[in-house]
Amino acid sequence: MKYSWNVASEVMRLSPPSQGFFREAMTDFTYNGFSIQKGCKIFWNAYATHRDHRFFPEPQKFDPSRFEGSGPAPYAYVPFGGGPRICPGKDFARLEILVFMHHLVRRFSWEKLIPDEKIVNIPMANPEKGLPIRLFPHEA
């Protein structure tokens, strides 16, 4: 299921399950010409990080092969956070995602009911009409 997980990882790179995380500055520092004082709340944006061309060439392209071998650089891809605050449900989520994908692909074909549905950001990317689909059981 390695390739299936690469596909799921690429989906989460393009549409992270969490938009980012708040952290508190532990010291005063300067970033990109901005002075950040100790104690300030900082929001790190996963969406922007996952589209950084330094870590992901052609960041808008869907390419599951990005996760082959050693994969992306540390902390360049963090759909479940990272370090000591990484999501404790990460492994369970992985198992759930893979089992769901397996059953969806093996048991069904599908078609979009609104072929050219637009994507809206509110704040996460969502299909404008909810992406209705029709499932068809595979013939045995």
- Segment 40-52 shows an average pLDDT of 91
**Residue 62 confidence (pLDDT):** 96
Please say whether the beta carbons of 119 and 126 come within 8 A: yes
pLDDT tens-digit series, residues 47-56? 899 999 999 9
Please tell me the pTM assigned to this model: 0.78
Q: What are phi and psi of 62, to 5 degrees?
A: -80, 115
Tens digit of each residue's pLDDT (9 = 90 or more) over 75-107:
999 999 888 888 999 999 999 999 999 999 999
Mean pLDDT across the chain:
91
The C-alpha angle 59, 60, 66, rounded to 5 degrees, equals 50
Q: Break the chain into its structural domains and give their ranges.
A: 2-137
CATH superfamily of 2-137: Cytochrome P450 (1.10.630.10)
Query: What is the reported pLDDT for 47?
Result: 87
Identify the residue whose tokens are 């944006």.
45
Nearest CA among 56, 61, 86, 49 for reference residue 71: 56
